Amino acid sequence: MILVAGGTGTLGTRVVRAITASGTPVRVLTRNADRAKALRADGVEIAVGDVRDPATLVPAMHGATTVVSAVQGFAGLDPGGATAVDLGGNENLLRAAEAADVRRFILISAVGASPDSPLDLRRVKHQAETTARRSRLETTIIRPTVYLETWLGILTEMIETKRATTVFGRGDNPINFVSADDVAALVERATHTPELAGATVEIGGPGNLTLNELSRTLLARHNVPEKINHVPLPVLRAVATLLRPIKPAVAALARFGIIMDSTDMTLAADTARATVPNLPLTSLDAVLAHPSGPAPGPTSRPA
């Protein structure tokens, strides 16, 4: 049994699909069973719980041999944000997994996780990684670049409601986007690939794209005349500082926007693909052709 915390999210639903396609039973941890209804119809077990509440994690761990953590509290509306979920929540999951004699723990972190990052999210991801490595569990840490599907979703919603997109800063910084389908394939491989036990790997997509390029592609697909609004960096800086005490989620998003527009968002080395052969490398065109991901295929698990 594999427990997927965050199994209702962009990555998590794809992880659940990839693992169940390999014939392994999956349980999803969610705060709201309604969000997981469609998964239950696919034979997935549901455990209702909150990573911030350790007591709810005990029944969720029952019989689990592997735990995947794909949770995130970044820019969410819940109290505590990334610190409560990505750090505290992962610490709780690790403790509960140790107590339940789980063997393997797969932590989804992020490229750029480091103790001195200007972004709180990346600092807490680094702290969670450190806690995971110090645990008694066999740990795999996966650091993806930015998910293509997340940004296609955000920009598409803007186009459908405003017939325009709004991007951070100039919008011309090259960013490595990875398909969440490719990350899910890596997570599935991490559940049974010995080379990934104890490893930290980074995974990205086939190339770099700017938010302007992504906007243009989507506007053209929607037959909407090109209109890209820009939030200038000084405005983002003001929002990041002034809204921190009153609207921390908005401030966190503004800080992320500054990073996305003004720092190196490319990927130096795709260490996941160097370690694991035959991982899919999904292009923007392929994601646009199949937005909810490819149909579950035959398992990549060795016989």
Ligand X SMILES: NC(=O)c1ccc[n+]([C@@H]2O[C@H](COP(=O)([O-])OP(=O)(O)OC[C@H]3O[C@@H](n4cnc5c(N)ncnc54)[C@H](OP(=O)(O)O)[C@@H]3O)[C@@H](O)[C@H]2O)c1
List interacting residues with ligand X (CB under 6 A): 5-6, 8-12, 29-32, 35, 50-52, 70-73, 85, 89, 108, 110, 144, 146-147, 150
Q: How far is the CB of 82 from ligand X (least distance, A)?
A: 8
Of 119 and 219, CB closest to ligand X: 119
Side-chain half-sphere of 136: how many Cα atoms within 13 Å? 9
Radius of gyration of the chain (CA): 19
Angle of CA points 21, 147, 273, to nearest 5°: 65
Please report how close the Cβ of residue 28 comes to ligand X at its closest, in angstroms: 8
For the bound state, the minimum distance from the C-beta of residue 288 to ligand X, rounded and expressed in Å, comes to 17
Give whichever of 64 and 110 is closer to ligand X, judged by the CB atom.
110
Q: Which is nearer to ligand X, 113 or 137 (CB)?
A: 113
C-beta of 110 vs 254, nearer to ligand X? 110
The closest alpha carbon to 168, from 266, 75, 263, 258, belongs to: 258
With CB atoms as reference, the residue minimizing the distance to ligand X is 9
Comparing CB distances to ligand X, the nearer of 31 and 224 is 31
Q: What's the closest the beta carbon of residue 210 comes to ligand X, in angstroms?
A: 16
Question: Tokens 């209109």 identify what position?
Answer: 227
Minimum distance from residue 291 beta carbon to ligand X (Å): 14
Neighbours of 209 (CB within 10 A): 18
Which residue lies nearer to ligand X by CB, 236 or 260? 260
State the minimum distance, in angstroms, from the CB of residue 215 to ligand X: 17
Give the 3-state secondary structure of 73-100. Answer: CCCCCCCCHHHHHHHHHHHHHHHHHHHC
Task: Look up residue 168 and give its two tokens.
Answer: 């951070």
Q: Where are the beta strands (DSSP E) in the chain?
A: 2-5, 26-30, 45-48, 66-69, 104-108, 138-144, 146-147, 165-168, 175-178, 200-203, 208-209, 228-231
